[in-house]
């Protein structure tokens, strides 16, 4: 297995934490004020005209409007996932609401409790979403959907049993829809939590306060996560003319790894690719502060045990001037003595987004003294977005052989042991 031949640092997640501590970390007022409609540019209005789904713009849209390039990138895929996917509305809302619960995301919960009610969820079922997949009353498949959200949140992975049971009912396009529904709303939850987006006046549902926070999935070790493609890659010969126009417009006869996997769902592929390209290379943060950008991605890749992204972005970072010392510092974390206040806060931002799905007040305040509003928004979306990217790769088995620049050891935090490239403990 690949994971036995290469190594990464895996930083610990605090899975069972007190509800009070989690709630205290969420801003109770906006950190970024929503942009009033009177101040919208023509570009912002065009996005709302195209993707708005009736009614006034929500605080999520108005907050993202503070960064029009980000808005144009995030909204198309969010709209597809929230209303255009091939999932039954009830199943879609179960996945979104469970992701909101796991991420302690008050805005997402309030928004989608309302959507869930329209999809047929009763007040008792909304409460049962918080109770989790083992609560009495779910049918077998709905319990399975909720469990998949827990596994993705805790391990950036879906176990074979859960995957196979989903695949028994869903075709490949809907498997991709289900996977990215959870991942998209984990990412959006991190953004809304960090930006302090508050529910609109008409959204009255709140996260149930009488349910213990306990994800229904145990933390797996790196060796327990099997790496094998779960969806066979498409070949150019299998493409319909419509698919060829989207996935291979130059008629090269070759498909990249992303197109070959996500191409089973053309409606998902295009907006997801726009988002991925923005996160990888097209954001203002990537172009104006590439070392900051690569630092955030590398630390997030370590959290999510992604040898694929670690190898790629270590190379990108070095091309931008990142040194061996800087890379060792990323491995060591924010408390390493080499870091100044800002660089330590960047690493802490990646750690907090992974553990708490929000930036803490101290980290936000430190970064806000160095970065402007749009850069702060990109910092949040880069970390949350690379959790989205790496988890999708893990769940689909898209981890390949990597060059020898991967760190020679990683620390498996649950066991407190150092593991070598060959998977041997020492």
Q: What is the CATH number of the domain that holds 46?
A: 1.20.1290.10
Q: What is the pTM of this model?
A: 0.90
pLDDT at 407: 53
* Distance in angstroms (rounded) separating the CA atoms of residues 345 and 292: 11
What does the pLDDT read at residue 224?
80
pLDDT at 21: 52
Q: What is the pLDDT of residue 100?
A: 98
Same domain, yes or no, for 263 and 290?
A: no
Q: Do 263 and 296 fall within a single domain?
A: no
Mark whether 313 and 202 lie in a shared domain: no
- Of 221, 243, 267, which residue is a domain's last? 267
Q: Specify the number of domains making up the chain.
A: 2
The predicted structure's pLDDT at residue 418: 38
Would residue 250 count as lying in a domain?
no
For residue 425, list its beta bridge partners. Answer: 419
Q: Is residue 4 part of a domain?
A: no
- Indicate whether 54 and 145 sit together in one domain: yes
The answer to whether residue 85 sits within a structural domain is yes
Residue 96's contacts (CB-CB under 8 Å, 6 or more residues apart) are 82, 108, 112, 115, 116, 181, 185
In a domain, 378, yes or no: yes
Q: Are residues 289 and 172 part of one domain?
A: no
Q: Are residues 282 and 383 in the same domain?
A: yes
Same domain for 91 and 217, yes or no, is yes
Range of the domain at 176: 19-234+259-267
Question: What per-residue confidence (pLDDT) applies to 360?
Answer: 97
Residue at a domain's end among 242, 267, 292? 267
CB atoms within 10 A of CB 287: 10
User: How far from each other are the two terminal CA atoms of the chain, in whole angstroms?
Assistant: 19
Cα radius of gyration (the chain): 21
Question: What one-character-per-residue DSSP string does 165-186 give?
Answer: HHHTTS-HHHHHHHHHHHHHHH
Give domain status of residue 97, yes or no. Answer: yes
- For residues 208 and 346, state if they share a domain: no
Same domain (yes/no): 304, 263: no
Largest interatomic CA distance in the chain: 63
Q: What's the length of the chain?
A: 426
The pLDDT of residue 15 is 39
pLDDT of residue 412: 41
Q: Long-range pairs for 351-355 at CB < 8 Å and ≥24 separation?
A: 351/11, 351/299, 351/303, 353/190, 353/194, 353/300, 353/380, 353/383, 353/384, 353/387, 354/11, 354/13, 354/300, 354/303, 354/304, 354/383, 354/387, 355/13, 355/14
Residue 326 lies in a domain: yes
Whether residues 140 and 215 share a domain: the answer is yes
User: Kind and range of the H or E element at 418?
Assistant: strand 417-419
Whether residue 360 is found in the same domain as residue 217: no
Q: Is residue 161 part of a domain?
A: yes
Q: Identify the pLDDT of residue 400.
A: 54
Bridge partner residues of 412 (DSSP): 417
Q: What is the pLDDT of residue 398?
A: 86
Q: What is the mean pLDDT of each run of 10 residues along the chain (426 residues)?
A: 36 40 76 98 97 92 98 98 98 98 98 97 98 98 98 95 97 98 98 98 95 94 81 91 90 87 95 96 96 98 91 95 96 96 98 97 98 98 97 86 44 39 38
Q: What is the pLDDT of residue 424?
A: 39
Q: Are 389 and 360 in a shared domain?
A: yes
**Which helix (H) or strand (E) element contains residue 131?**
helix 123-131
| 240 part of a folded domain | no
pLDDT in the model for residue 24: 60
């Amino acid at each position: 297995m690949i994971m036995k031949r290469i190594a990464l640092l895996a930083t610990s997640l605090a899975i069972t934490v007190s509800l009070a501590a989690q709630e205290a970390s969420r801003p109770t007022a906006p950190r970024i004020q929503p942009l009033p409609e009177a101040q919208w540019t023509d570009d912002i209005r065009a996005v709302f005209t195209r993707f708005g789904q009736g009614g006034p713009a929500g605080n999520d849209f108005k907050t993202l409007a503070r960064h029009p390039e980000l808005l144009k990138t995030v909204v198309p895929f969010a709209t597809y996932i929230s209303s255009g996917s091939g999932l039954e509305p009830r199943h879609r809302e179960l996945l979104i609401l469970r992701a909101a619960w796991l991420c302690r995301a008050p805005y997402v919960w309030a928004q989608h409790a309302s959507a869930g009610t329209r999809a047929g969820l009763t007040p008792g079922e909304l409460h049962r979403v918080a109770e989790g997949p083992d609560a009495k009353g779910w049918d077998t498949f709905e319990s399975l959907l909720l469990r998949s959200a827990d596994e993705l949140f805790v391990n950036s992975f879906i176990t074979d049993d859960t995957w196979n049971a989903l695949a028994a009912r869903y075709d490949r396009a809907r498997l991709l829809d289900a996977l990215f529904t959870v991942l998209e709303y984990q990412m959006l939850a991190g953004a809304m939590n960090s930006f302090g987006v508050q529910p609109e006046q008409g959204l009255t549902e709140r996260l149930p306060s009488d349910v213990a926070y306990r994800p229904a999935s145990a933390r797996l070790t790196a060796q327990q996560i099997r790496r094998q493609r779960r969806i066979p890659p498409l070949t150019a010969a299998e493409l319909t003319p419509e698919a060829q126009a989207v996935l291979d417009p130059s008629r090269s006869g070759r498909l990249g790894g992303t197109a070959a996997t996500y191409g089973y769902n053309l409606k998902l592929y295009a907006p997801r690719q726009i988002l991925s390209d923005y996160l990888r290379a097209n954001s203002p943060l990537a172009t104006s502060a590439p070392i900051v950008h690569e630092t955030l991605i590398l630390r997030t890749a370590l959290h999510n045990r992604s040898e694929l992204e670690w190898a790629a972005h270590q190379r990108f970072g070095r091309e931008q001037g990142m040194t061996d010392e800087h890379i060792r510092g990323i491995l060591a974390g924010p408390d390493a003595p080499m870091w100044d206040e800002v660089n330590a806060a960047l690493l802490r931002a990646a750690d907090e987004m992974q553990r708490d799905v929000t930036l803490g007040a101290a980290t936000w305040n430190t970064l806000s003294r160095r970065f402007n509003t749009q850069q702060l928004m990109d910092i949040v979306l880069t970390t949350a977005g690379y959790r989205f990217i790496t988890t999708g790769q893990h769940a689909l088995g898209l981890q390949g052989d990597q060059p020898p620049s991967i760190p020679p050891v990683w620390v498996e935090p649950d066991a407190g042991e150092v593991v070598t490239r060959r998977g041997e403990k020492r």
